[in-house]
Amino acid sequence: MIVKALELPKRFLVGRPLRSERLGETLLPKKLALPVFCSDPLSSNAYATEEILLMLSLGGLTLLHLTPWVAAVVVALLIVVVLSYRQTCHAYPNGGGAYAVSRANLGTNASLVAASALLVDYVLTVAVSVAAGVQNIISAVPPLGPHAVLVSIGMIAILAVVNLRGIKESGTAFAIPTYGFIVVVLTMIALGLFRILTGSTPRAESASYGIAPAGNAGGLLVVLIAMRAFASGCTALTGVEAVSNGVPNFKPPKSRNAAATLAIMGTITVVMFAGITALALTSHVHVADDPARITGAPAGYQQRTVIAQVAGSVFGGYHSIGFFAVQLFTAAILVLAANTAFNGFPILASLLGHDGFLPRQFSRRGDRLVFSNGIVILSALAGLLIWVFHASTTRLIQLYIIGVFVSFTLSQAGMVVHWSRKLQEAPLSVVRRAIMRSRAINALGAVFTAVVLVVVLITKFTHGAWIVVLAMPSVFLLMKGIRRHYDRVAAELRPSPGGVTLPARVFAIVLVSKLHEPTLRALAYARATRPTSLTAVTVATDQEASDGLLLEWTERDIPVPLKVLSSPYRDVTGPVLGYVKDIRRTSPRDLVAVFIPEYVVGHWWEALLHNQSALRLKARLLFQPGVMVINVPWQLGSAASLEARRVDGLLPGHPTGPRLDRSA
């Protein structure tokens, strides 16, 4: 069948299943947790400075002097957020981040707002990171430009497969690109600073080009442009919350290791962001959101990314080993930055599934002890975004970071409530001082991120962010609807005090198309259940065939009456449903048991040739109250040979159960 046909490719790509007892083997040390959970904020350094310069270039070259001030505010915000989330790692060692904090301290609705923001943001993280990575690949290999969408979707598929193999395997696979990016960027910054100190200041290829302003930049417009630059630069903070979401995946002591990883990530990010920004300014990198506004450039000039221009100026050209090393590792970590979402999204979805706000399937681990359903859904949604927005980083980035700051603000506000409760329970002055310090950090983070959220909304709303503003409430309402469904089902299924009364009578029906071995087995099984009454039923779609069946039935002296249902329109399902409904109307408190003989085939293509009538009947009968549907399988030769090969160890399989006696 189809599932069996997919078994071997699945094992080849994903690997053999892991027993639940081996979950502890998948926990991460700090050296692997850094590339797994921090690749997104680390990779943001590849485009955070560029986003600031692109926004300030709306005023031409005159506003570039604001870059250090905008970058400084971004760095201050990053430090505050890292300190705040370190508190969360210690306070909530079971993970969940903003969702868990908000649920415990701000209520269900606030937690779902945070969850919807994070879910949307994780999808955007994958789309933006992969698109930015592919854009850097295109900077080094321009002929790939027309195939950006296809390359991006292929990258997402590779990331999905690696993550489906297990979190530890993905950490090992992504460690080299992540640490390689850190090394080459820090080397570039150190060499660039050395050249500046020795009087050989690097000079970018675009240093001599001008930028035509998009309009008259003055007064309030300058403030708005600076705010937009700050909002775009805040992409450096994306992914910071992933560590607090994934605390359970760290090796013990989990909270301490998670907090330490967060501190390491924060330090490296601040150094790289500040260094790249300083080199971009000293080398006079000039970029514009619209290349047509660049003046003085030669015909056919193709604008490179900021980090590419910085690397070219520091390492002495676009054909140097240093330049290609920076481009290679930048492209690699930008693509792998999506791995932060591939770990955060499934974990958050599993918590929501466990709480009944997403389908329960999200809470179950797959063959490799990862939340496979979350990984697959995330890949599909990110691929769809890539296709809709044509893998354009500039268009996708406008949808970005709104969800980040919604979750930041709710998480920090929830932590303030958490520490306030702890403060009431703490009798010792030393403990109280520590709690008050933690509360002050989170309060500062809540205020700071709330202000940034307002700035981001104002500056990005008309540039595409309205899509996220609509998407978040939609996800919120979807989760509320799913929870209402689960609550309604639980109420319906709750056992009554007296239990379930036994039915007075059971009317058994065996569906018959031909008199063959599967039919005889179904009749034998139905008789063995000892129902109140037993009737064989056939539908006369062909009068000649029905007459032959009746004659053969009589000749074999089968001790079960055969009822023939008329079907002038040659339909099988309708007459059977009508017959069952007649029994139910006559005896509404009794049960009707319908036995359906069914072939079991060994190949997927055989399934297309059999059992279609049985499938349609079962689909309709399942909606009839008081009706039980019993499948009576008959294994064809192809199914039996396939099972024999499984038992002999020729195919991957499963524990076999007892076989039905053919002579039944």
* pLDDT value of position 388: 87
* pLDDT value of position 265: 92
Cis ω for the linkage preceding 253 (within 30 of 0): yes
Residues of the chain with pLDDT under 50: 1-6, 12, 20-24, 650-664
* pLDDT value of position 24: 47
CB atoms within 10 A of CB 610: 14
* pLDDT value of position 654: 43
CATH number of the domain bearing residue 402: 1.20.1740.10
* pLDDT value of position 660: 33
Q: Is residue 655 part of a domain?
A: no
Q: Are 372 and 342 in contact (CB under 8 A)?
A: no
The model's pLDDT over 200-214, given as tens digits with 9 standing for 90+, comes to 999 998 888 888 887
Let me know whether 394 and 536 are in one domain: no
| Order of all β-strands in the sheet with 627-635 | 562-566, 533-540, 506-511, 591-600, 627-635
* pLDDT value of position 345: 85
Domain range for 465 is 48-294+303-486
| Tokens standing for residue 660 | 């039905």
Q: Is the pTM of this model over 0.75?
A: no
Secondary structure (3-state) at 569: coil
Secondary structure (3-state) at 414: helix
* pLDDT value of position 651: 46
Let me know whether 455 and 581 are in one domain: no
H or E stretch covering 211 = strand 210-211
Q: Is residue 68 part of a domain?
A: yes
Let me know whether 430 and 579 are in one domain: no
Q: Is residue 163 part of a domain?
A: yes
Let me know whether 190 and 324 are in one domain: yes
Calpha distance 194→189 (Å, rounded): 8
Q: Count up the domains in the chain and report the number.
A: 2
Let me know whether 211 and 62 are in one domain: yes
* pLDDT value of position 540: 87
Q: Is residue 168 part of a domain?
A: yes
* pLDDT value of position 607: 67
φ/ψ region of 217 (left if φ > 0, alpha if ψ in -120 to 50, else beta) reads beta
* pLDDT value of position 436: 87
Longest dimension (CA), the chain: 109
Cis ω for the linkage preceding 93 (within 30 of 0): no
Calpha distance 653→4 (Å, rounded): 9
* pLDDT value of position 283: 93
Q: Is residue 5 part of a domain?
A: no
